[in-house]
């Protein structure tokens, strides 16, 4: 004869099981935004080698992952330190792949490339300086600011322009350069603030 179930323990077990299931589901969801970010890296690597007619589609798909990874991370509340570090790396890989392709095609000149990428060069130099000082953990504490986000939008607007109807207009390059320098300045100021606190 089967022993009767424990009416006290069964609800507790159910709650424990529900909590475990929720935790596992949350951990699985945490992987989705990071997976989208990682996907941007092979798309960037493939960009210079795809047929010219495919470039807009590849760039569009990569930028869609850029939007979705952040939107999903915020909606699901699964932001992670790994994602905060990987996202700008994936962005720089994509930007670099597109501008080098446009440079080799003659769609942008070397000085235009330098102006469009000024923010990234300055930020990379600042990050290397932080790492060289043994303060790499500070990088994970930095958060994107509005000038940096707008600079990224302008950069990709310039890249789309270079793909669709080159050359890229001078006003767009100048605006991207100016805002990029401002964004880099804010980044370096935030680094100095964190260094003084540490």
CB 34 within 8 A of CB 80: yes
Name the band, by pLDDT with cuts 50, 70 and 90, for residue 88. confident
What integer pLDDT is reported at residue 35 of this predicted model? 87
Q: What is the DSSP string of 68-111?
A: HHHHHHHHHT---HHHHHHHHHHHHHHHHHHHHHHHHHTSS-HH
Could you give the count of Cα atoms lying within 13 Å of 128 in the half-sphere of its Cβ? 6
Listed in sequence order, the residues at least 6 apart from 1 whose beta carbon sits closer than 8 Å to its beta carbon are none
Q: Where are the domains of the chain?
A: 13-105, 106-198
CB 108 within 8 A of CB 166: yes
Whole-structure pTM value: 0.73
Q: How many Cβ atoms sit within 10 Å of the Cβ of residue 116?
A: 27
pLDDT in tens, 12-69: 555 555 555 666 666 667 778 888 889 999 999 999 999 998 999 999 999 998 888 8
CB 34 within 8 A of CB 86: yes
- Measure CA 53 to chain center: 25
E strand intervals along 50-154? none
Q: Which of 184, 197, 90, 177 is nearest to 129 (CA)?
A: 184
Can you tell me the distance from the alpha carbon of 46 to that of 6, in angstroms, rounded to the nearest whole number? 60
CB 97 within 8 A of CB 40: no
pLDDT in tens, 137-190: 777 677 778 888 899 899 989 989 999 988 899 999 999 999 999 999 998 888
């Amino acid at each position: 004869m089967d022993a009767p179930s424990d009416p006290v323990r069964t609800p507790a077990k159910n709650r424990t099981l529900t909590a475990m299931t929720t935790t596992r589901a949350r951990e699985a969801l945490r992987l989705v935004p990071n997976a989208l970010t990682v996907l941007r890296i092979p798309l960037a690597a493939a960009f210079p080698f795809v047929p010219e007619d495919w470039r807009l589609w590849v760039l569009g798909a990569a930028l869609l992952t850029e939007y979705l990874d952040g939107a999903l991370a915020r909606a699901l509340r699964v932001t992670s330190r790994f994602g905060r570090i990987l996202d700008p790396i994936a962005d720089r890989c994509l930007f670099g792949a597109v501008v080098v392709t446009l440079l080799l095609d003659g769609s942008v000149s070397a000085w235009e490339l330098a102006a469009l990428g000024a923010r990234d060069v300055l930020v990379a130099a600042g990050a290397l300086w932080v790492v060289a000082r043994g303060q790499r953990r500070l990088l994970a504490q930095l958060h994107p600011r509005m000038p940096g986000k707008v600079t990224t939008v302008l950069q990709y607007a310039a890249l789309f322009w270079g793909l669709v109807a080159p050359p890229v207009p001078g006003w767009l390059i100048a605006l991207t350069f100016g805002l990029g320098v401002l964004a880099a300045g804010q980044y370096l100021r935030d680094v100095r603030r964190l260094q003084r606190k540490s």
